[in-house]
């Protein structure tokens, strides 16, 4: 008789425990969703294309418009001079100041600038992988200086593409040299998953 | 809790076997945690060695090689950079500051680095921490030397002590620059980076000690004494590597490309963060292999424990019969054996963690002196706790086997053992 009572009690305890676990799991899931809907409601980020960071009338190839560079071999000093002129033109790349202050979402690859072994806190966002080895390098209006906010990047994952969401700023750094660049502070970072649905 | 008391008294009855099992599991846990800790601390040390530097420039070799010899003093440069290139880069648009480093000499096994006094203001490590002097000051004379904390500690030098630079980077060198002794002007505070094991002298000092040398050896007919050297031109013809800071970080790629394509000299510019990740990629194969082996060792240890419990079961049939006779159900016998596995593994883990801390306390100073790796005997990290929980989970799974066998014994034997 006692054994049956004990067994029923232990079964009741197990049921109660399972019920508590399920409830706690659901509650913790539930707590997360209201927060994210709040964020979405306040500032909907606009998905940005890299080409939008370049002013529409900007043509860096203008400097060599009247030269047919396909005639030159790569080591021809004239080719080097023209590619240098091109590069100078790229480096004076102007920014689109209308984008200043907009909440944007843009995909790209991270080049770490400030980091420790657990987290990359500041990086340059570039449009393609291997911006440091591919020729030519992206012009300064195709690079964003990002400070990651609470979500950082694991240094081992810098080879993977990411979505960066945050308020875009256009800074005029060195007015005499015409340097200006884009930056984002307190960025939210998510992995970029290629969707196969088109 | 009565179950735990029973488990303990049962285990203590077989002290020798229990002790061996706990010891074996402890060793395997120590191996896994030790490998993980060394890996993490090495990464931490390497990653924090340099900060706030946008580019590192050297003669053209490979990016990982340049990073290793310029910052970590591992390996050597293939060639030097001409002084003209150094000046050109300093004046390039977008460049804010340049610190030259000249490598190739040593002092009693510690690398001698020729640089400018700007180095001590500009160099940052570990998230923009600046260098600090605990004794003395940066150099004010061409024959001054600044020591890193570890170099000063091991050599026992104080400010004002003399120091003779040797030619070459071996731990013992035959060719020395005895005619031009230096004196210690300052000692840096501990940074936990390769700088601790370095000796810094001015660029002019490097030129001075080599001024009467030709092709790597002193030429007796051309000897110039230490004081007369001061009259001569002491800017070097070449330097080994440059640390570059830019006016804006977005110029990093542009300047890097210009340096890489520099027409008058083959140069290489690297972004330290990228080069470091490339280094980790190379090392990740070895790291994964080490962790894989450690996990195998844990599995072997747990399998050994399971074997030990299983073989002991035959002798414990009387024990099980006694327990049944006082009212234990077969399911209780099962949970008793499961609890035994868990208790053994938890004890083994505790023992392994003790060995880990003990050996860290004993060997960390030696590791720091020889390799510059700092390993702290601190609390377990979250990753280490995660590993431990997984091991306990495995123990629960493995405990099912002897538990089930004991359950079957208790059913078959009933209240008396037929052996």
Residues A47-52 have a mean pLDDT of: 87
Mutate to test the interface with A, among B40, B247, B250, B332 (most CBs of A within 10 A): B250
Nearest by CB to A132, from B48, B249, B274: name it. B274
> Which positions ≥6 away from B72 have C-beta within 8 Å?
B46, B49, B194
Position B250 scores a pLDDT of: 83
Cα(B327)–Cα(B410) distance, integer angstroms? 12
Q: What is the mean pLDDT of chain B?
A: 87
Backbone angles phi, psi at B70, to 5 degrees: -80, -40
Listed in sequence order, the DSSP H helices in B261-381 are 272-315, 317-325, 330-371
In a shared domain, residues A80 and A166: no
Q: Given CB atoms, is B383 within the 8 Å cutoff of chain A?
A: no
Contact A108, A127 (CB under 8 A): yes
Which residues on chain B are in Cβ contact (under 8 Å) with A124?
Answer: 249-250, 252-253
Which tokens in the block code for residue A170?
A: 């256009």
Nearest by CB to A181, from B51, B54, B248: name it. B248
Position B167 scores a pLDDT of: 80
Nearest by CB to B249, from A124, A158, A174: name it. A124
In a shared domain, residues A184 and A119: yes
pLDDT digits (tens, 9 = 90+) for B17-71: 899 999 999 999 999 999 999 888 888 888 888 888 999 999 999 999 999 999 9
Which residues between 127 and 146 in chain A have a beta carbon less than 8 angstroms from any beta carbon of chain B? 131-132, 135-138, 140, 143, 145
Give the residue numbers spanning the domain of A31: 1-42
In a shared domain, residues A117 and A150: yes
Cα(A37)–Cα(A25) distance, integer angstroms? 19
Distance (Å) from the alpha carbon of A9 to chain B's nearest alpha carbon: 17
In a shared domain, residues A143 and A186: yes
Contact across the interface for A155 and B47, Cβ inside 8 Å: yes
Is there a domain that residue A144 lies in? Answer: yes
Confidence band for B319, pLDDT divided at 50, 70 and 90: confident
Confidence band for B127, pLDDT divided at 50, 70 and 90: confident
Cα(A26)–Cα(A31) distance, integer angstroms? 9
Q: Given CB atoms, is A126 within the 8 Å cutoff of chain B?
A: yes
Confidence band for A173, pLDDT divided at 50, 70 and 90: low
Distance (Å) from the alpha carbon of A44 to chain B's nearest alpha carbon: 27
In a shared domain, residues A103 and A139: yes
Position B8 scores a pLDDT of: 87
Is there a domain that residue A197 lies in? Answer: no
In a shared domain, residues A130 and A176: yes
pLDDT digits (tens, 9 = 90+) for A94-136: 788 888 888 999 999 998 888 887 888 889 898 887 766 656 6
Which tokens in the block code for residue A80?
A: 């080097």
Confidence band for B174, pLDDT divided at 50, 70 and 90: confident
Confidence band for B219, pLDDT divided at 50, 70 and 90: confident
Range of lowest pLDDT (A145-149, A192-196, B88-92, B93-97): A192-196
In a shared domain, residues A82 and A109: no
Which residues between 149 and 188 in chain A have a beta carbon less than 8 angstroms from any beta carbon of chain B? 155-156, 158-159, 173-174, 177, 179, 181-182
Chains A, B: CB contacts under 8 A, how many? 88
Is there a domain that residue A64 lies in? Answer: yes
pLDDT digits (tens, 9 = 90+) for B362-396: 988 887 777 667 787 778 888 899 999 999 999 99
Q: Which helix (DSSP H) or strand (DSSP E) does residue B67 occupy?
A: helix B63-71
In a shared domain, residues A141 and A76: no
Is there a domain that residue A196 lies in? Answer: no
Angle of the B330-371 helix axis to the B272-315 helix axis, nearest 10? 140
User: In chain B, what are the domain boundaries?
Assistant: 2-46+284-413, 55-270
User: How far lies B337's CA from each of A7, B397, B407, in Å?
Assistant: 21, 12, 9
Which residues on chain A are in Cβ contact (under 8 Å) with B47?
Answer: 115-117, 155
As for the ipTM of the complex, it is 0.72
Q: Given CB atoms, is A53 within the 8 Å cutoff of chain B?
A: no
> In chain B, pLDDT over 90 holds for what percent of residues?
40
Contact across the interface for A140 and B43, Cβ inside 8 Å: no
Mutate to test the interface with B, among A113, A130, A142 (most CBs of B within 10 A): A113
Q: Residue A44 gets which letter from DSSP? A: P
Q: Given CB atoms, is B252 within the 8 Å cutoff of chain A?
A: yes
Report the CATH number at residue A132: 2.40.50.870
Cα(B158)–Cα(A95) distance, integer angstroms? 55
DSSP string for A18-37: HHHHHHHHHHHHHHHHHHHH
Q: What is the mean pLDDT of chain A?
A: 73
Which residues on chain B are in Cβ contact (under 8 Å) with A120?
Answer: 273
Position A39 scores a pLDDT of: 46
pLDDT digits (tens, 9 = 90+) for A34-49: 444 444 435 688 888 8
Is there a domain that residue A198 lies in? Answer: no
In a shared domain, residues A88 and A113: no
> How many domains are there within chain A?
3
In a shared domain, residues A101 and A181: yes
| Residue, of B282 and B216, whose pLDDT is higher | B282
pLDDT digits (tens, 9 = 90+) for B14-25: 888 899 999 999
CA B144 to chain centre: 30
């Amino acid at each position: 008789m006692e054994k049956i009572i004990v067994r029923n009690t232990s079964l009741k305890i197990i049921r109660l425990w399972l019920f508590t676990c399920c409830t706690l799991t659901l509650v913790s899931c539930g707590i997360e969703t209201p927060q994210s809907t709040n964020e979405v409601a306040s500032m909907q980020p606009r998905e940005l294309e890299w080409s939008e960071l370049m002013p529409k009338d900007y043509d860096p190839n203008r400097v060599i418009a009247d030269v047919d560079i396909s005639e030159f071999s790569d080591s021809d000093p004239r080719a080097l001079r023209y590619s240098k002129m091109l590069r100078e033109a790229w480096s004076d790349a102007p920014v689109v100041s209308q984008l200043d202050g907009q909440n944007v979402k843009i995909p790209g690859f991270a080049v770490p600038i400030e980091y420790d072994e657990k987290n990359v806190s500041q990086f340059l966002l570039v449009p393609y992988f291997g911006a440091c080895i591919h020729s030519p390098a992206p012009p300064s209006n195709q690079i964003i200086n990002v400070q990651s906010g609470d979500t950082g990047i694991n240094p081992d994952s810098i080879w993977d593409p990411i979505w960066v969401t945050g308020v875009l700023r256009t800074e005029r750094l060195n007015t005499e040299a015409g340097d200006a660049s884009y930056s984002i502070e307190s960025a939210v970072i998510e992995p970029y998953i290629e969707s196969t649905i088109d | 809790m009565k179950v735990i008391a029973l488990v303990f008294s049962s285990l203590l009855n077989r002290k020798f076997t229990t002790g061996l099992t706990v010891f074996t599991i402890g060793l395997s846990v120590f191996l896994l945690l030790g490998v993980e800790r060394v890996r993490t601390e090495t990464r931490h040390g390497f990653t924090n060695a340099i900060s706030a530097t946008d580019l590192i420039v050297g003669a053209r070799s490979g990016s990982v090689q340049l990073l290793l010899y310029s910052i970590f003093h591992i390996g050597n440069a293939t060639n030097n950079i001409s002084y003209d290139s150094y000046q050109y880069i300093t004046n390039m648009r977008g460049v804010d500051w340049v610190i030259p480093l000249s490598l190739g000499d040593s002092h009693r096994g510690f690398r001698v680095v020729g640089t400018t006094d700007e180095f001590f203001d500009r160099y940052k490590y570990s998230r923009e921490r600046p260098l600090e002097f605990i004794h003395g000051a940066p150099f004010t004379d061409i024959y001054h030397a600044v020591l890193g904390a570890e170099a000063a500690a091991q050599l026992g030098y104080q400010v004002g002590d003399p120091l003779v630079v040797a030619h070459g980077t071996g731990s013992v060198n035959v060719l020395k620059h005895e005619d031009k002794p230096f004196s210690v002007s300052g000692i840096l505070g501990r940074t936990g980076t390769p700088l601790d094991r370095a000796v810094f002298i001015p660029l002019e000092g490097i030129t001075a000690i080599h001024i009467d040398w030709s092709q790597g050896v002193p030429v007796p007919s051309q000897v110039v004494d230490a004081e007369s050297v001061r009259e001569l031109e002491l800017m070097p013809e070449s330097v080994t590597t440059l640390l570059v800071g830019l006016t804006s970080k977005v110029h990093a790629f542009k300047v890097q490309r210009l340096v890489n394509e520099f027409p008058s000299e083959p140069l290489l510019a690297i972004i330290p963060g990228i080069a470091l990740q490339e280094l980790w990629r190379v090392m990740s194969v070895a790291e994964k292999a080490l962790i894989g082996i450690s996990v195998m060792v844990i599995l072997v240890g747990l399998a050994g424990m399971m074997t030990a419990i299983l073989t002991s079961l035959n002798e414990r049939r009387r024990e099980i019969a006694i327990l049944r006779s006082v009212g234990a159900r077969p399911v209780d016998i099962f949970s008793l054996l499961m609890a035994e596995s868990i208790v053994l593994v938890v004890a083994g883990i505790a023992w392994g963690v003790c060995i880990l801390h003990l050996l860290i306390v004993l060997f960390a100073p030696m590791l720091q002196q020889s390799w510059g790796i700092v390993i702290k005997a601190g609390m377990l990290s979250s990753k280490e706790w995660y590993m431990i929980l997984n091991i306990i989970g495995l123990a629960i799974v493995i405990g099912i086997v002897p538990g089930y066998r004991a359950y079957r014994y208790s059913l078959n034997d009933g209240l008396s053992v037929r052996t």
